[in-house]
Structure 1
C-alpha cells in the first residue's frame, strides 16, 4: 500500500479523479487529479511525516474532516514503515482521548477544527502524541505540512505480510469503539485481492465511472483504495458529504455507472432519485456495506436506474472480518413483502471459498438446527490480528478458529443467513430490523425507522422524518399485524445521535429518550 499510487502511475493508469472539494492535505490543489498527482501527494506526505518524527514501527494517528485523503495519508505512513490509525472526527473528545491513549502515537495529523471541538469538551488532543501536525495551521505548539515540506521521503520500507498494516476503529454504536488491527495478509491478501477480480456483471470495468460516498476513516475504504486503483476505471468520483444538494452537481457532471455509499448516505441521497434527469440513471451496480439497508431505499435506486437490469449488491460483515456474505437484489426480488418477511434481511450465502458460518446457542455454543435462531459465528482468513490495547476482549470473541459476530440470525436450509438483530438488541419472538423494514415499506413519508428493544417493555419505535413531523392516523394502519409497540417518537435526521458512518447510536438514543441504557441482550459480543 505504501507504493500503490507509484506503481499505478508507472503503469500509466489513466483514471481521472473528481472530488467534491479539494483534499485537506492539498487545499490549493483543486478537485481534478490524475493518478500521478496522487502519487506525488503520497510521497510528499511521507516526507513530512518522517520530518515530524514518525519512524518505522511507530503509529501515526489521523483524525480530520471526512475525505479520501485519509487513505493517502495512511499510504504515506505505510511507505515510511509506520502504522496508520484512522480515527473519525465524528468521535467525541472523550472517545478520541481514549483511543489516542491506547495508540501511543508518534504523530497525530489533525485540523484546528477537530482540536477546537475536543477542547470544548475539555480534551487537549495534542497531549497524546510527541508531535501534532495541523493541516490548516494556526495552532501554537503544533507543526504544519508547510513547515515540514522539503524533508525527503525515505525509501519505501517493506514489512512482513503478517505485521500490522493499518488500524481502524469499529463504529462505536454502543460505546467507545475498538481499535482493529489488520495486516497485509488479512486486508490486502484475503480481502482486496478477492475483490479485485473482474467478475461478470458486478466487477469493475475499465470504462466505469465509479462514485464513492463513504466514511474514509473506516477500514472499508482502505481496502477499496487498493481495489479501485488496481482495477483502473475511467473515472473516480469522490464524495465527502452526505448532503444531497452538495453532491448533486458533481454526480450530474460525472453520472456514475457504479455507486458505493454508506447506508445512511443512500438514505440522504434518495431525494435525488425523484428529480428530473436524476444522476443515477446510468448506474448498473449499487454497493452497500456497514449496516442494514431497508427495502424502500433499495427499490428507489433500482427504479432510478435506466439500465435494463441494475443490481444492488449488499455486503454483510464487520471491520474485524471484512465481508462475510453477499446478497444481490433486483427490481423483481424487492417487488413487495414476502409472506410477511423482509427479503432485505436475507443476507445471502457465505463468500465462496473464503468464509464459513455456523449458528450456535449463545449459552452453550452448541450448533442449532437450520431454521432456528442463534448466535452467528464466522471463520475467515481475513480476521483481524487483535484489538489494540484490548487483547482480552478480542480473545473473548473467539471460540477456537471461530469468531463471534455478535449477531443473531437463522441459517436456512439453502445455506443463506437471515439476520434478526444484534445480540445486545435481541428480543425473543421479535426482529427489530425486520420490523423496521416493514414499517418503512408502509410509511413512505419516513426517512428511517429505528425500533429500540427494551427489557420488560414493548419496543420503542423512533420515526425519522424530513421535518420531525408525522401524521398520527398513519401509525395505526402501518402497525396492523405487527408486534405490539409503544407509541412512536418522531425526530428529524439531525436530532438523532449517529456514528461517523451514519449509523444510529442506539444506546445513546435509548438513553436520550428514556433515561436508561438497559438493553435486553447481554452485550457480551459487542
Structure 2
C-alpha cells in the first residue's frame, strides 16, 4: 500500500473508508428500504462486511472494463443507496466519481456532461430512457456501463470480473469527488472536492460526535449524490454506527423502516422534515427514539424543529442546524434543545466553527445587513468547466461570497435573511415572514413568498392538499406586509431541486409567464 493511501486514515479517501470500517466493525448492521440495484439478490439486510465486498468487487469490475486512475467516471442512475458504493468503488480504482442527481432531466445532464467530458458513464435503463439521454449520450461519453437490466448494445458493469485493482497514489489536494450544487438559480455547478477539503467537513462532525458520545443508529434519507452524504457516511463509518439508508421519504415507508430500525440519529432534507411532522404527532411513533436530528442543505422553519423535538421521548434531544454550501462545507452550526427552540427564531444559523471557518458580514448598505462572506478550510477546489466563475465568487481580499444576505446577532451568531437574488424591496427578510406565517397555520406544509412586479405573491401547500382556510390565512397575515391572495398548489407542481429546495427564480418565472403560472399550478 502506497504512502499516499496510508495517510488516508487521517485524510478522507472514499475508496477505502468502507473497507477500513469493515475491518474494525465487520458485523455492524446496515438496513435498506430497497435492495441495491448492484446486487438485488442480496436483499435489504447487510453488514459493513457486505458493503466492503460490494465496493471491492465493483472496483474490480471497473478495472476490468478499463477504468484507470485519473479517469472521470460520471454516475447518473436511479435513486438508490448503491450510488454511494459506486462512488467508493470508482475512487478505489483511483478514478474520480462525478455524481449526478437522478432527478435531473436529460437536457440538464447533457449540459453537465459537456462540462465534465467523462471517460465513462454509469447509468441504468430507466435513466437512459426516461431522460431521452440515450439519443445523445454516445457523442458525450465514450463508454457507457449499465447497472441492472441490459438495454440496447450497452455493456453491463458487472459482466466482467478480475483481481482487485492496485492501490493508487492520490494526493490530498487533488480532486477526490465531483458533486454539484442544487441549481436553485439555474444550471447546477459541478464542484470539485479535494480529499483535504472533505476531511475538514468530516472533522466538524467528528468533534461534535466525540463530545456527545454519539453511538446511535443512524438513518439517512438524503440525496446520495450530494457532498454532504459522503462526509456523513465517513463519520458514521468511522464510529461504527448502524445505518439505515432510505430512498423513499413517504410516511408509510419511513414508518415501516423506523419501527424496525429505531434510529437515534436522523438526517434528511428540511422540506422532508416538514412532511414528517405528521409522524411526530403519533404517540410512541417512529420518531420517539430519536436523540439527534441533523439538518443541512437549507434553513428550516422553527415550527418544524419544535415539532420534531416534541416527538422524541429521549432526554436532551437536540436538533443540529448546519449552514453551508457544497463549495465551503459547513460554515456555522447551531444546536437546538427543546428549551432553545422554544425561545429562538429560525433565522439564526449559529456561530462560525473554530479551526474551520471564519464568517463576516461584507459591505453593508444600512450599517447592519450585508452579504455573508466566508473563509473555510473545507473550500472546494473549483467548478469543473467554469473555473473563472468560481474565482469570480471570491472578494478582492480572498473571502468567499455565499450569495446570501444576513447580519450578525448581539452574541456573534449569524442570522440568514435571504438569498441575494430573492430579496424583496422594503422587506428585511422574506424567509422571516414565511417562518412567521407557517408557524401560525399548522395545516401548511410550505409557503413561498415570491416578489413580483410591485406586490408579493404567496404560494402555499397544505397537508394532503386540503383546501386552504382563507379566514385563518387572513388572520395569520394581518400583521405582515401586504400580500396578494395566496395561490394554493401541490408540492409536486413546485419546481424543486434534488434536495427539495424550491427553485424560487423558476417559480417566479412560472408565475409571470403568460398562460402558465397560476392557471396551470392552482388546485381545482
TM-score scaled by structure 2? 0.92
TM-fit CA distance, 1:468? 5.3
Match runs of 1:338-349 below 5 Å: 343-349=345-351
Change (3 A) 1:506 1:122: farther
TM-fit CA distance, 1:331? 2.0
Counterpart selection for 1:223 from 202, 209, 231: 231
The aligned counterpart of 2:96 is 83
Match runs of 1:380-399 below 5 Å: 380-399=376-395
Cα distance in 2, alignment partners of residues 143 and 296 from structure 1: 50
What secondary structure does 1:457 align onto?
coil
What secondary structure does 1:28 align onto?
helix
Change (3 A) 1:511 1:58: same
The aligned counterpart of 2:218 is 210
TM-fit CA distance, 1:401? 2.4
TM-fit CA distance, 1:79? 1.0
Answer with 320-329 or 420-429: which moved more.
Answer: 420-429
Match runs of 1:123-522 below 5 Å: 124-148=136-160, 150-188=161-199, 190-197=200-207, 199=209, 202-205=212-215, 208-233=216-241, 235-335=242-342, 343-361=345-363, 369=367, 372-399=368-395, 400-430=397-427, 431-454=429-452, 456-465=453-462, 466-467=464-465, 469-515=467-513
Does the aligned pair in 2 maintain the 1:312–1:328 contact within 8 Å? yes
TM-fit CA distance, 1:11? 2.1
TM-fit CA distance, 1:333? 2.4
Cα distance in 2, alignment partners of residues 204 and 477 from structure 1: 44
TM-fit CA distance, 1:199? 4.3
Cα distance in 2, alignment partners of residues 211 and 345 from structure 1: 26
Cα distance in 1, alignment partners of residues 382 and 280 from structure 2: 41
Counterpart selection for 1:23 from 36, 52, 60: 36
Does the aligned pair in 2 maintain the 1:468–1:491 contact within 8 Å? no
Answer with 195-204 or 314-323: which moved more.
Answer: 195-204
Match runs of 1:105-116 below 5 Å: 105-116=118-129
Change (3 A) 1:123 1:490: farther
Cα distance in 1, alignment partners of residues 153 and 114 from structure 2: 19
TM-fit CA distance, 1:297? 1.2
Deviations 1:276-303 (A, max 9, x none): 4311111111110001210121111111
What secondary structure does 1:312 align onto?
strand
Counterpart selection for 1:74 from 87, 98, 107: 87
TM-fit CA distance, 1:216? 0.6
Cα distance in 1, alignment partners of residues 50 and 331 from structure 2: 35
Cα distance in 2, alignment partners of residues 375 and 122 from structure 1: 43
What secondary structure does 2:55 align onto?
helix
Does the aligned pair in 1 maintain the 2:295–2:320 contact within 8 Å? yes
TM-fit CA distance, 1:201? 6.2
- The count of residues paired between Structure 1 and Structure 2 equals 498
Cα distance in 2, alignment partners of residues 472 and 511 from structure 1: 25
Does the aligned pair in 1 maintain the 2:58–2:158 contact within 8 Å? no
Cα distance in 2, alignment partners of residues 22 and 41 from structure 1: 13
Cα distance in 1, alignment partners of residues 294 and 192 from structure 2: 25
Change (3 A) 1:285 1:421: same
TM-fit CA distance, 1:362? 6.8
Does the aligned pair in 2 maintain the 1:280–1:305 contact within 8 Å? yes
TM-fit CA distance, 1:36? 1.1
The aligned counterpart of 2:5 is none
Cα distance in 2, alignment partners of residues 348 and 249 from structure 1: 34
Change (3 A) 1:376 1:203: farther
Aligned-pair Cα RMSD in Å: 1.8
Cα distance in 2, alignment partners of residues 298 and 40 from structure 1: 39
Does the aligned pair in 1 maintain the 2:128–2:134 contact within 8 Å? no
TM-fit CA distance, 1:114? 0.7
TM-score scaled by structure 1? 0.91
